[in-house]
Amino acid sequence: MSLDFVRISQSGRDQLIRLKRHTGIQNWNVLCRWAFCLSLKDSTPPSRSPIVTDSNIEMTWKTFGGTHEEIYKGLIQVRARQDGFDSCDTALTAHVHRGLSMLLSKEPRTIEDLFT
């Protein structure tokens, strides 16, 4: 398991930009962590369709995980196995992207809208 970098697709980048604009949260890693956790809350596996991580958004695992990187690492290891993914990197990408879509489906206008 490498988990050296977290990479985002062009559509994921567009979603992050909209979330930043509406919530005022300036850091990609915070939004990506929330998206990841929201996706994990859903017990169904995310799509296995390949995600082309072609945007200019990339962060190190340490930046993504912050002070709780070991907890996030354990969570993705368990879910990758549970969901039948071949790698933790692929599972992480799938969960982050599904979570971004879930966050935007709430049509947030403020940060509070993400939690209602």
Condensed to tens digits (0 to 9), the pLDDT of residues 39-53 reads 999 999 999 999 999
pTM of the complete model: 0.92
pLDDT value, residue 22? 87
Count of domains in the chain?
Answer: 1
Under 8 Å between Cβ of 15 and 99:
no
Condensed to tens digits (0 to 9), the pLDDT of residues 90-101 reads 999 999 999 999
Condensed to tens digits (0 to 9), the pLDDT of residues 3-18 reads 899 999 999 999 999 9
On the question of pLDDT at 82 being above 60, the answer is yes
Domain of 65, CATH number, reads 1.10.1220.160
On the question of pLDDT at 1 being above 60, the answer is no
Residue 93: give the domain boundaries. Answer: 5-115
Cα(33)–Cα(41) distance, integer angstroms: 12
Best CA proximity match to 92, nearest among 43, 44, 41, 33: 33
